[in-house]
Amino acid sequence: MAWFGYNTRNDVPMIISAPRVHSRPAFACVGNKRNLPFCRTNLPISHRVNDLIGRLTLAEKIRLLVNNAAPVPRLGIAGYEWWSEALHGVSNWGPGTRFGGQFPGATSFPQVISTAASFNASLWEEIGRVVSDEARAMYNGGIAGLTYWSPNVNIFRDPRWGRGQETPGEDPVLAGKYAASYVRGLQQAQGNRLKVAACCKHYTAYDLDNWGGIDRFHFNAKVSKHDLEDTYNVPFKACVVEGKVASVMCSYNQVNGVPTCADPNLLRDTIRGQWGLNGYIVSDCDSVGVFYDTQHFTSTPGEAAAAAIKAGLDLDCGPFLAVHTEEAISGGKLTEAQVNSALANTITVQMRLAHQQLALEAARQGIVLLKNSGPALPLSPAHFHNVAVIGPNADVTATMIGNYAGIPCAYTTPLQGIGRYTKTIHQPGCTNIDCTDNSLFGAAVGAARNADATVLVMGLDQSIEAEARDRVSLLLPGRQQELVTQVAMASRGPTILVLMCGGPVDVSFAQFHPRIAGIIWAGYPGQAGGAAIADAIFGKLNPGGKLPVTWYPQDFVTKVPMTDMAMRPNPSRGYPGRTYRFYKGPVVYPFGHGLTYTTFTHSLAHAPPTILSLSLSLSSSSLHHRTNSTVQTHAIKVTHAKCDDLSFDFHVDVSNTGDRDGSHTLLILSAPPAGRWAPQKRLVAFHKVHVAAKSTARVAVPIHVCKDLSVVDNYGIHRIPIGDHSLHIGDLTHSLSLRADPLGL
């Protein structure tokens, strides 16, 4: 860590060395606090931010106002170092980044002034992307942060300026274009999410360090409004408006007698008000201390802290706000609400930073628990001291990411994930996914005999299912089924089957096997898949996934040629139809199947109507003819209905009656009246809700009749069937009768 202190002879800030700390995630929830609302990534960021701030004490808030933000152990919040640099490559100048181990260095691109000479905006953005990629890799390796205080977009006003080399030059348009391009490359924003957070500095009119006996800590830049708007502020405006930068850094100097970090016109009114910054404003390192100690802008430290925060500063690089904000509040110069506003801006950026945790979270939410006899799952590490981990997919890496994938920075295999909970005994069982011989079966059976529990990780890979490679069978490849059966019969403890595959597999043998206690479908879970699988097995995760496809039995492929594109069944030729909407044959597991470690019940909180009248929107001249047609076909064309008023909310109370918190997916299915066009049922809405143990959450799901209750006829026309419809959520059914009202014009 590095703090700025002062040399008492000349009031020039100097670095006071302190040990660097291991880089922490930009926003990390740890321990048993991950279920608190502010940790739930499925909630809106604003909701999470407000929830967290509402839980913090004033002392905790104050320690989050500085670059080395302190942890909050009671809330499971890790500390974070905000200060990292990436001017023309990832740098270790700031305390948030260090080199070593697998990352002895990073690409160092030409200095900015040289790169600016290319006048190539796409080059600048591409450099930003590469720097961002390397920064992300180092972050994943635990030696860098996600907030980079770059680029420097000051105007190179005077050729003598020592830092002019860091800038894109003297032209404000060129500097602005560079700024926006490099920021876009660094941040690689997707919606509101950022790959890393950039920062444009040093705002504003900063282009003197130490010349002629005048240094930047004492300098008052006297700038006309014309020059400020036409020159000095142009690159910063481009950063915010065009580049959508996540942060702006205010400078040491004064502008027209006011320190930039204490000027509400420059910060609050211009950066945030006029330009619409969606991010935080940070001081140059110890700028707040400089304008109190060196520039003597305020009479007390508390007044300085108040002036900075009230002006719009959100984060202090340095200790000043951590030390003096309490004084500002107790002295009536600042309110806690104003501190909350500053924290909201920094915490929001932290939560916008998608990171490796997101990959793990995505894998977790995709885990589907297919079977849990007993229940055997979850396993307790306290009771299962060693686990046999067996199968051709037990220790794979590339298999987990499927096809059309990049190269992850790191993997967690199922074996590694399970090894974080208990001792493991690993045997592959098969030499590869084809599993064409049983030469390794004996060792696998022996491992299962000597372990407290057994996890078999079986399934498919890209040699079986991939682009230009269709399957010919729904069974596990080769002798995998034989391996599973032998191991299960020999296992001393419960046997859990984990399936890593994209398409469905007929595992009927395991579904009904008394020695196979649990079955988990992991799909191709990505780089963190092994951690997610282990979290599910040992109960850190309560699985909440649902199958997005029907799992058919093997004999389905003997009845349905791939070339037959018909969806609906045709009994006359023995064609069973496709998908859960039309297929009428047996299944291994149905669409939407998925168990949890708790139990959920549903009840109607506010019943929708049981009778709805459909008014027609036809002209009176054609009403009689159209009405006869409608009555005869028992369906109204959607284009003939007054759809605007045909909607209602389906209010459902979801109760978690078990002892574990869990996420539940509401699947709202509609079944129309019997008819020649209608599917058996179809999904019309879905909603995922997290419900704490022994509690209830209310969900309102909008249903629009014309969209959700219509069907498509043989001519591709959307129609609304007249008659009795039903809406299904699990075992809950609500009947709704639709009636035609041809006179309701």
Q: Which of 259, 122, 238, 228 is nearest to 177 (CA)?
A: 238
The CA distance from 638 to 632, in Å, is: 16
Q: Do 451 and 491 touch, CB atoms closer than 8 A? A: yes
Q: To the nearest 10°, report the CA torsion of 168, 172, 177, 181.
A: 50
State the catalytic residue, choosing from 207, 263, 284, 461.
284
Helical spans, DSSP H, in 548-617: 556-559, 579-582
Active site residue 452: no
Angle between helix 336-352 and helix 301-311 axes, rounded to 10 deg: 50
Q: Which amino acid is at 235?
A: P
633-636: Cβ within 8 A, 24+ apart: 633/719, 634/673, 634/675, 634/721, 634/722, 634/723, 635/675, 635/677, 635/711, 635/713, 635/719, 635/720, 635/721, 635/722, 636/719, 636/720, 636/722, 636/740
Question: Cβ(455)–Cβ(414) under 8 Å?
Answer: yes
Structure tokens belonging to residue 323: 């030390």
CA atoms of 389 and 606, how far apart (whole Å): 48
Structure tokens at 184: 């876009």
Residue 241 CB: number of other CB atoms within 10 A? 15
C-beta separation of 455 from 426 below 8 A:
no
The tokens for 238 are 């481009």
Picking from 156, 152, 210, the residue whose alpha carbon sits closest to that of residue 182 is 152
Query: Residues 367, 522: contact at Cβ < 8 Å?
Result: yes
Find out whether 242 and 180 touch, Cβ atoms under 8 Å.
yes
Find residue 9's DSSP bridge partners: none
Q: Residue 79 gets which letter from DSSP? A: P
The CA-based angle 132-134-137, given to 5 degrees, is: 110
CA 7 to chain centre: 45
Residues in the chain: 745
CA-to-CA separations, 662 to 373, 520, 687, 689, in angstroms, rounded: 19, 17, 14, 8
Residue pair 201/153 in contact (Cβ under 8 Å)? The answer is yes
As a whole number of angstroms, the distance between CA 475 and CA 478 comes to 9
Nearest to 346 by CA among 317, 372, 326, 366: 317
Closest Cα partner for 504 from 535, 460, 540? 460
Backbone angles phi, psi at 96, to 5 degrees: -80, -10
Amino acid letter at 573?
A: R
**In angstroms, how far apart are the furthest CA atoms of the chain?**
99
Q: How many helices (H) and strands (E) does the chain have?
A: 21, 29
The whole-angstrom separation of Cα 714 and Cα 676 is: 9
- The residue type found at 578 is R
The backbone torsions φ and ψ at residue 449, rounded to the nearest 5 degrees and listed phi first, read: -65, -30
What backbone phi and psi angles, to 5 degrees, belong to 638? -60, -35
Strand partners, 258: 255
Query: By the 8 A CB rule, do 97 and 81 touch?
Result: no
Where in the sequence numbering do the catalytic residues fall? Answer: 284
